[in-house]
Amino acid sequence: MHPTLIRRTLGGLVPPKIATPSILTSGQGEGLGPLVGFYSRLPKGPAPQPVIRGVKARFFNGKNASGAPIVWVMGGLFALGYFIDYQTHLKHHKNHAH
């Protein structure tokens, strides 16, 4: 990876005004106070579970994940296609061939 891509990706982890190189390399303990204060205010523990919304989240993510909706959609499309084909063409061949 390119150094700029890595710097851009990891740049949001530590705010630049709190952890400047002059504070971290000065050797005194009081220079780390703002950095320790920043990280002590961050939330602790596991992240809360997201609220499940939408079809994708309900059927394809989480503990009830299943491929059944895909099968139902395929079956419905097949039935709709057959119905349309019957109404437009196959009904004509029902009692006689042409």
Per-residue pLDDT tens digits for 20-71: 556 555 555 566 677 778 888 888 888 887 777 787 877 888 777 888 889 9
**pLDDT given for residue 15 in this prediction:** 61
Q: Is the dihedral of CA 41, 47, 53, 54 positive or negative?
A: positive
Angle at 67 between CA 62 and CA 69, to 5 degrees: 100
Higher pLDDT, 77 or 98: 77
The pLDDT of residue 4 is above 70: yes
Burial class (CB within 10 angstroms; exposed 0-12, middle 13-18, buried 19+) of 17: exposed
Q: Please state whether the predicted TM-score (pTM) of the whole model is above 0.85.
A: no
**pLDDT given for residue 31 in this prediction:** 62
